[in-house]
């Protein structure tokens, strides 16, 4: 009897209803009194456990209580499911809102930082700390590009850092690809007396400038001419005449096609390249102008050579600011930002200026050392300067009668109150032109065997070419962040 009972229990486990439970419990009691096989067989499911209780009272009561409890624990009602899903949805919305708030905070911080930088840049007070992370480059990483037959006199880099334009005493212009170092275009120079039939320069090119959108290239020469080229194709567009002396400085106003030019005739002229038009002439220097630069404001800065003055020309106000500080001829100038600039002179000094002070903020004398016999030492001329805009990094290039000339990098102190030497890069020859790339990833030096303005010395060991100097930076320290 006991074995047949368990067979039925396994076949119909779900028939645990009120009447059958009572019959089953009665049979189990009879089976327990009659044989031993019942204890040897173990129940296989929860239904057998419910049926095979030890007492009749428990078998009659507990199945009614346990089943609803187990259904509440393991079977979810539709209302409970809706409530659970609603809670999950609310939690998900909360997480999304928190993430969105974090993103908005991050973006607002970024925007605030950018706006703050733009305000500082417009005020001329932006000074990004870059110098502390710069490392001296390896000599093997410095590239030399050769293509000009005579000394390089000037060069410019496009704002996207992809191309370099260079010019030389051989009257030629070359467009270079920075990445590959290949020549993309070459505008050959012409001989003297062929001005009527030659498209290009027939005199030494002294200066050049490229617009911020890389649309126009402007070049100026010893023959008092300014030529405008299409930067992409090097196609000749216009020729500006009007200066009565060699054109020694050119610069486009950033974000526009307004061109400023300076000349040995002591004047500064303003041109509109889009309209192929002359605008006005400014006078003030007492000697030949040797350098010119400008940024985005409607003003430019010039150096007056032997008159030992630096002048800031306010075009709209038709006024000028005059600064004095060097003891020799001031040959080069570069704006760091709208309010600060750096100059170099043939007395070997480098000066750091603010437009709000008539005297230099800082002066480094004999910045590149001296040469000559004992007791007759003369400082190396500073022939070129460059500035990484809106940063604390500047550079100067020397011109001397020795073959071991250098490119010196400097760090501007806080608020441009001083100049500290960083490191020097040996470059044999006269460093006639220096330019930082917009990104600050490299520095380009135009080098020649002679000075760009004359032939006082000649270094035969030097090579006429362009040196591309990579500027490595230290990896950021996670602990300092």
Q: Count the domains in the chain.
A: 1
pLDDT beyond 50 at 15: no
Domain enclosing residue 196, as ranges: 143-470
pLDDT tens-digit readout, 258-287: 999 999 999 999 999 999 999 999 999 999
Q: What is the pLDDT of residue 48?
A: 45
DSSP state string for 32-76: HHH-SHHHHSPP-SHHHHHHS-SSHHHHHHHHHHHHHHHHHHH--
Residue 32 pLDDT > 60 = no
pLDDT digits (tens, 9 = 90+) for 386-425: 999 999 999 999 876 555 678 999 999 988 889 999 999 9
Q: Quick one: what percent of the chain has pLDDT higher than 70? A: 78
Whichever domain contains 225, its CATH number is: 2.130.10.10
CA dihedral defined by 166, 169, 170, 173, rounded to 10 degrees? 20
Domain presence at residue 458:
yes
The two tokens of residue 317 are 């106000």
Query: At residue 271, what are phi and psi to the nearest 5 degrees?
Result: -130, 155
Is residue 16's pLDDT more than 50?
Answer: no
Q: Is 281 part of a structural domain of the chain?
A: yes
Which residues, other chains included, contact 28 with Cβ-Cβ below 8 Å and sequence gap of 6+? 5, 38, 51, 52
Asked whether residue 119 is assigned to any structural domain, the reply reads: no
| Tokens, residue 387 | 């500035």
Does 314 have pLDDT greater than 70? Answer: yes
Looking at residue 28, what is its pLDDT?
44
Radius of gyration, alpha carbons of the chain: 42
- Asked whether the predicted pLDDT for residue 312 surpasses 90, the reply is yes
Number of residues that this document lists for the chain: 481
Q: What's the confidence (pLDDT) of residue 52? A: 42
pLDDT greater than 70 at residue 65: no
Q: Is residue 29 part of a domain?
A: no
Residue 428's pLDDT band (boundaries 50, 70, 90)? confident
Q: Which of 86-100, 140-154, 248-262 has the lowest mean pLDDT?
A: 86-100
Q: Does residue 444 carry a pLDDT above 80?
A: yes
Alpha carbon distance 350, 344 (integer Å) = 5
Task: Tell me whether residue 393 is exposed, middle or buried, using C-beta atoms within 10 angstroms of its C-beta: 0 to 12, 13 to 18, 19 or more.
Answer: buried
| Within-domain flag for 21 | no
How far is residue 130 from each of residues 114, 284, 392, 394, measured CA to CA in Å?
A: 17, 36, 6, 10
Average pLDDT over residues 422-445: 93
SS3 364: strand
The reported pLDDT for the residue numbered 453 is 81
3-state secondary structure of 336: coil
Q: Is residue 289 part of a domain?
A: yes
Q: Is 128 inside any structural domain?
A: no
Q: What is the pLDDT of residue 193?
A: 78
Cβ atoms of 336 and 342 within 8 Å: the answer is yes
Task: For residue 216, give the nearest of 178, 273, 173 by alpha carbon.
Answer: 273
7 in a structural domain: no
Provide the pLDDT for residue 403: 54
pLDDT in tens, 158-191: 999 999 999 999 999 999 999 999 999 999 998 8
342 close to 350: Cβ distance less than 8 angstroms: yes
pLDDT, one tens digit per residue, over 71-128 is 445 577 888 888 888 888 888 888 888 888 877 776 666 666 666 666 666 656 677 8
pLDDT at 94: 87
């Amino acid at each position: 009897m006991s074995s047949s009972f368990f067979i039925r229990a396994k076949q119909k486990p779900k028939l645990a209803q009120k009447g059958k439970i009572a019959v089953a419990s009665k049979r189990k009691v009879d089976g327990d009194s009659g044989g031993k096989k019942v204890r040897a067989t173990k129940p296989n499911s929860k239904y057998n456990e419910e049926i095979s209780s030890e007492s009749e009272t428990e078998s009659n009561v507990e199945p009614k209580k346990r089943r609803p409890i187990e259904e509440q624990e393991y079977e979810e009602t539709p209302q409970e499911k809706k409530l659970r899903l609603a809670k999950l949805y609310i939690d998900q919305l909360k997480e999304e809102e928190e993430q969105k708030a974090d993103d908005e905070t991050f973006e607002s911080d970024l925007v605030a930082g950018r706006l703050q930088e733009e305000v500082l840049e417009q005020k001329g007070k932006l000074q990004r700390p870059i110098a502390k992370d710069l490392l001296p480059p390896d000599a093997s990483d410095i590239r030399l590009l050769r293509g000009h037959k005579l000394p390089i006199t000037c060069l410019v880099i496009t704002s996207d850092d992809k191309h370099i334009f260079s010019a030389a005493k051989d009257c030629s212009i070359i467009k270079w690809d920075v990445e590959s170092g290949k020549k993309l275009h070459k505008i050959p120079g012409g001989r003297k007396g062929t001005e009527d039939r030659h498209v290009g320069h027939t005199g030494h090119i002294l200066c050049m400038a490229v617009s911020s959108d890389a649309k126009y290239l402007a070049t100026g020469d010893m023959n008092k001419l300014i030529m405008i080229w299409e930067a992409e194709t090097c196609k000749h567009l216009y020729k500006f005449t009007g200066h009565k002396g060699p054109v020694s400085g050119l610069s486009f106003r950033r974000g526009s096609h307004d061109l400023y030019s300076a000349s040995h005739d002591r004047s500064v002229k303003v041109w509109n390249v889009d309209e192929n038009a002359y605008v006005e002439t400014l006078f003030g220097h007492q000697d030949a102008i040797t350098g010119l630069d400008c940024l985005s404001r409607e003003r430019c800065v010039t150096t007056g050579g032997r008159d030992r003055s630096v002048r800031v020309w306010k075009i709209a106000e038709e006024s000028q600011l005059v600064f004095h500080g060097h003891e020799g001829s001031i040959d080069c100038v570069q704006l760091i930002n709208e309010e600060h600039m750096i100059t170099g002179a043939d007395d070997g000094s480098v000066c750091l200026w603010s437009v709000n002070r008539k005297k230099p903020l800082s002066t480094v004398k004999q910045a590149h050392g001296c040469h000559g016999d004992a007791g007759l030492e003369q400082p190396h001329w500073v022939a070129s300067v460059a500035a990484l805009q809106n940063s604390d990094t500047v550079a100067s290039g020397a011109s001397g009668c020795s073959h071991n000339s250098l490119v010196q990098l400097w760090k501007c102190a806080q608020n441009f109150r001083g100049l500290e030497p960083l490191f020097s890069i040996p470059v044999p020859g006269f460093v006639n032109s220096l330019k930082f790339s917009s990104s600050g990833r490299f520095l380009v030096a135009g080098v020649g065997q002679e000075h760009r303005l004359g032939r006082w010395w000649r270094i035969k060991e030097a090579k006429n070419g362009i040196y591309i100097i990579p500027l490595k930076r230290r990896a950021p320290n996670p602990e300092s962040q």
